[in-house]
């Protein structure tokens, strides 16, 4: 926890600036019609995300922390995600692109003023400092959402980025053994951790084995070529229904060409890269692959223990590589690249047990439902996490190439419906330890 108000101010200001630089890039690289169009019924028009970012910042920083009078109270309801599902957002009276841009600029101007003038000490320090972190993370999360919209959009490429470096070498083996025992899950210390990551608590897990890397396209292709999408025995009943109703044969954005497969990636059609983690699969596909492979998805606790538990000290780290913030040598984060790195990359980011790419590259589906930790308290609003708890949503861990470091930690929890495939999700597999491990 940072208690020096000046450091806190610098950190908040640079997190807000980084988010805004990215938002600008995502909303100025296409023309106005592409900002107001709905590229998929699963997504909002880009211009909705843009003004929603500004409206949340107005509510949580300008009004709640700064105590300033509302700037545009009449638009709160248009940009309330709970009042309007994504499919109906194009028919709302949305701010036009130029208006939306000037609205977010105006809010930001006032918020920077609030940041400069707020004492940031005393009783409300923790709450105020958290609010800045929460709003920066919120903007970065919508930037990832907008990147998904860009990936769904038809037409020529609007975004480009160099491929990630291939640093894959020296992987300890296909899987590692995580011994039985307690570990600390979640956090009570991380200042910008969201409510669902709290509080820290002990978990006792039996020994298990987990893949050292995410599942590759090459491995996933064996599943496809072995008739994985044609045999109901690998699938959960609802997953099999999804396959049949939609005639699924491969991950989203894949298409057969000749005797092989190609995929569309940000406006470019390209051959499938066998060494890359599989991307754009639903929870049902991940679950079916794991069963076909004679394995299972890791539980959320197993994933976190593999990522954070240090067998030498017994403590849980902030990240697999230690407690330092992510650098480019540790993980593929922050939209520096528009694709995951080959499996086995980022040796400097590996966990003490030798597990790689837990952070960055692809979100990883886990077996678990999105549930509160013991002692959970909704903060600052029930609609961030609490209303999603239950068996409808599955948890994803680790973050993708589209996640900014500010919205990524060993404790960070994402969630989505098990049918969703447009998100930047892949997976790794696990199994119970066998008698040979005793």
Task: Point out the residue whose Cβ comes nearest to ligand AVJ.
Answer: 141
Residue 415 binds to ligand AVJ (criterion: CB under 6 A):
yes
In this structure, is the dihedral angle defined by the CA atoms of residues 227, 366, 150 and 357, taken in order, positive or negative?
Answer: negative
112-151 binders of ligand AVJ (CB under 6 A): 138, 141-142, 145
Nearer to ligand AVJ by Cβ, of 222 and 381: the residue is: 381
Annotated binding site for Fe cation, which residues?
Answer: 52, 138, 142
Nearer to ligand AVJ by Cβ, of 175 and 300: the residue is: 300
144-183 binders of ligand AVJ (CB under 6 A): 145
Residue 429 binds to ligand AVJ (criterion: CB under 6 A):
no
Tell me the C-alpha distance between 76 and 135, whole Å: 16
Closest contact distance (angstroms) between CB of 277 and ligand AVJ is: 19
Query: Could you tell me which residues come within 8 angstroms of residue 145 by beta carbon, excluding any fewer than 6 positions away?
Result: 43, 44, 49
Residue 414 binds to ligand AVJ (criterion: CB under 6 A):
yes
Size of the site for ligand AVJ (CB under 6 A): 6
Closest contact distance (angstroms) between CB of 427 and ligand AVJ is: 17
Backbone Cα Rg of the chain: 22
Tell me the C-alpha distance between 359 and 331, whole Å: 6
Annotated binding site for gamma-L-glutamyl-L-cysteine, which residues?
Answer: 86-89, 416, 420
Tell me the C-alpha distance between 293 and 183, whole Å: 28
Closest contact distance (angstroms) between CB of 413 and ligand AVJ is: 8
Query: Smallest Cα–Cα separation from 61: which of 120, 21, 6?
Result: 120
Can you state the percent helix, strand and coil of the chain, rounding each to 5? 40, 15, 45
Residue 335 binds to ligand AVJ (criterion: CB under 6 A):
no
Nearer to ligand AVJ by Cβ, of 22 and 138: the residue is: 138
Nearer to ligand AVJ by Cβ, of 373 and 415: the residue is: 415
Nearer to ligand AVJ by Cβ, of 75 and 178: the residue is: 75
Tell me the DSSP string of 225-283.
Answer: HTTGGG-GGGS-HHHHHHHHHHT--SSTTEEEETTEEEEEETTEEEE--TTSBP-S--H
306-325 binders of ligand AVJ (CB under 6 A): none
Closest contact distance (angstroms) between CB of 423 and ligand AVJ is: 8
Nearer to ligand AVJ by Cβ, of 288 and 408: the residue is: 408
Query: Smallest Cα–Cα separation from 52: which of 14, 83, 30?
Result: 83
- Taking each helix axis from N to C end, the angle separating 5-28 and 46-57, rounded to the nearest 10 degrees, works out to 160
Residues that bind ligand AVJ (CB under 6 A): 138, 141-142, 145, 414-415
């Amino acid at each position: 926890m940072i208690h020096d108000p000046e450091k806190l101010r610098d950190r908040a200001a640079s997190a807000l600036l980084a988010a805004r630089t990215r938002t600008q890039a995502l909303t100025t690289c296409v023309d106005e019609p592409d900002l107001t169009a709905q590229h998929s019924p699963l997504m909002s028009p880009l211009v909705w995300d843009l003004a929603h970012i500004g409206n949340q910042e107005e509510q949580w920083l300008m009004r709640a922390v700064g105590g300033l009078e509302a700037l545009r109270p009449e638009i709160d309801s248009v940009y309330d995600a709970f009042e309007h599902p994504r499919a109906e957002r194009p028919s709302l009276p949305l701010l036009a692109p130029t208006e939306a841009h000037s609205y977010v600029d105006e809010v930001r101007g006032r918020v920077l003023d609030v940041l400069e003038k707020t004492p940031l000490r005393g009783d409300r320090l923790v709450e105020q400092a958290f609010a800045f972190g929460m709003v920066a993370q919120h903007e970065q999360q919508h930037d990832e959402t907008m990147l998904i919209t860009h990936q769904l959009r038809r037409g020529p490429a609007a975004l480009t980025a160099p491929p990630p470096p291939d640093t894959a070498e020296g992987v300890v083996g296909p899987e590692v053994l995580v011994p039985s025992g307690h570990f600390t899950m979640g956090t009570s210390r991380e200042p910008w951790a969201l409510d669902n990551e709290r509080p820290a608590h002990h978990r006792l897990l039996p020994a298990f084995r987990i893949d050292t890397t995410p599942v590759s396209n090459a491995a996933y292709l064996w599943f496809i070529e072995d008739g994985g999408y044609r045999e109901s025995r690998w699938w959960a009943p609802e997953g099999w229904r999804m396959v049949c109703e939609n005639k699924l044969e491969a991950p989203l954005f894949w298409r057969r060409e000749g005797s092989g497969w190609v995929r569309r990636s940000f406006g470019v059609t390209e051959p499938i890269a066998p060494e890359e983690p599989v991307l754009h699969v639903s929870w049902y596909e991940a679950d079916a692959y794991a069963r076909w492979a004679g394995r299972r998805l890791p539980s959320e606790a197993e994933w976190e223990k593999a990522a954070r538990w240090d067998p030498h000290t017994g403590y849980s780290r902030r990240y697999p590589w230690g407690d330092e913030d992510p650098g480019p040598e540790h993980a593929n984060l922050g939209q520096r690249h528009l694709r995951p790195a080959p499996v086995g990359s980022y040796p400097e980011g590996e966990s003490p047990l030798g597990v790689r790419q837990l952070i960055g590259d692809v979100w990883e589906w886990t077996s678990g439902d999105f549930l509160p930790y013991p002692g959970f308290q909704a903060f600052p609003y029930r609609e961030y996490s609490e209303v999603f708890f239950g068996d409808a949503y599955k948890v994803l861990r680790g973050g993708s190439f589209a996640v900014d470091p500010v919205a990524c930690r060993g404790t960070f929890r994402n969630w989505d419906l098990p049918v969703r495939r447009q998100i930047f999700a892949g997976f790794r597999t696990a199994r119970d330890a066998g008698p040979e491990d005793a």
